[in-house]
């Protein structure tokens, strides 16, 4: 993951960190006399702590753990995960790391016109989520049909990523700066559209070729880019509001985790 991300791969860094946190939780569970359910809970607690360390958002980490990993709200599972996430946030603060890496304080007035815009963003995000999912599956199937050994797949994927980077350099790498620009309202519609198209293609190809990396940051980027494109035809709101809304809707739709 470090090599693929460091070399400009269009994937996120948070996925591997969350997996590492889960692995640490699982390792600790193997050292303790716990049941299978308790071992799973410790694994999820480690994953939630890892996400908190990356984003500085313990509540979102807890919700993600419940929606995608635990599938239950029982105290025996929820409390250990919450404790791990909170402790990770405390340690993050003690290490003088910044707060949430994507702070946003904007908004818009609640109205029927605004409600129509929210619904429109939800519909578009749902369509984008389905399209991205199908693109990844199609790329995976395409690479499996190639008459070459699987060890060459990442090389071919890297070639496509490199071409995409020549077209739109901002599509390369983790792209946290892209998210910040969109939330600040500094991304114009034409640039956002180009970023969305190129990022979607090279991200799908990279994952389909077996490149290691996360999906959270790319989903936020592509969702935010869609919101920035649509902002010009939606009701007036603070800069970055529609990008933020589209980020949340796209991530929730693709990962099937709307509460997160």
Q: Return the percent helix, strand and coil in the chain, to nearest 5.
A: 75, 0, 25
In this prediction, residue 9 has a pLDDT band, given cuts at 50, 70 and 90, of confident
- The domain of 171 spans 112-255
Question: Terminal CA-to-CA distance of the chain, rounded, Å?
Answer: 24
Same domain membership, residue 240 and residue 120? yes
Q: What is the model's pTM?
A: 0.85
Number of Cβ atoms within 10 Å of the Cβ of 177: 11
SS3 186: coil
Q: Could you tell me if 226 and 162 lie in one domain?
A: yes
- Per-residue pLDDT tens digits for 173-202: 888 899 999 999 888 999 999 999 999 999
Residues 178 and 57 in one domain: no
Residues 132, 211, single domain; the answer is yes
Within a domain: residue 248? yes
Same domain, 174 and 209: yes
Could you give the 3-state DSSP secondary structure of residue 105? Answer: coil
User: Is 103 inside any structural domain?
Assistant: no
Contact 23, 231 (CB under 8 A): no
* 20 plus 83 within the same structural domain: yes
User: CA torsion 81→13→126→248, rounded to 10°?
Assistant: 60
The tokens 């910040």 sit on which residue?
180
**Best CA proximity match to 68, nearest among 90, 34, 39, 43:** 43
Q: How much is the pLDDT for 225? A: 95
3-state secondary structure of 176: helix
Asked if the structure places residue 162 within a domain, the reply is yes
- With respect to residue 251, please indicate whether it lies within any of the assigned structural domains: yes
- Do 76 and 116 lie in one domain? The reply is no
Residues 14 and 64 in one domain: yes
* 107 occurs within a structural domain: no
Write the pLDDT tens digit of every residue in 103-138. 788 778 888 888 899 999 999 999 999 999 999 999
Q: From CA 8, how far away is CA 78, in angstroms rounded?
A: 37
* Residue 218 falls inside a structural domain: yes
What is the distance between the alpha carbons of residues 88 and 132, in angstroms, rounded to a whole number? 32
């Amino acid at each position: 993951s470090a090599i693929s991300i460091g070399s400009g791969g269009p994937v996120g860094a948070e996925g591997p960190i969350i997996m590492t946190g889960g692995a640490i939780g699982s390792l600790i569970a193997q050292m303790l006399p716990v049941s299978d359910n308790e071992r799973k809970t410790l694994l999820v607690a480690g994953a939630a702590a890892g996400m908190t360390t990356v984003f500085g958002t313990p509540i979102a980490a807890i919700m993600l753990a419940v929606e995608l990993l635990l599938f239950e709200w029982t105290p025996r599972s929820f409390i250990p995960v919450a404790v791990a996430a909170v402790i990770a946030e405390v340690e993050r603060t003690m290490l003088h790391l910044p707060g949430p890496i994507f702070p946003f304080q904007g908004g818009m007035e609640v109205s029927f016109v605004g409600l129509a815009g929210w619904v429109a963003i939800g519909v578009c995000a749902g369509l984008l989520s389905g399209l991205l999912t199908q693109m990844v599956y199609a790329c995976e199937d395409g690479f499996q049909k190639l008459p070459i050994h699987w060890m060459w797949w990442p090389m071919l994927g890297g070639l496509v990523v490199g071409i995409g980077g020549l077209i739109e350099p901002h599509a390369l790498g983790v792209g946290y700066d892209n998210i910040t620009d969109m939330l600040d309202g500094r991304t114009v519609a034409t640039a956002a559209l180009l970023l969305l198209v190129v990022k979607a293609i090279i991200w799908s190809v990279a994952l389909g070729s077996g490149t290691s990396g996360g999906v959270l940051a790319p989903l936020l980027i592509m969702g935010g880019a869609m919101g920035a494109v649509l902002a010009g035809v939606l009701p007036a709101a603070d800069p970055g509001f529609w990008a933020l809304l589209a980020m949340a809707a796209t991530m929730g739709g693709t990962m099937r985790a709307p509460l997160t």
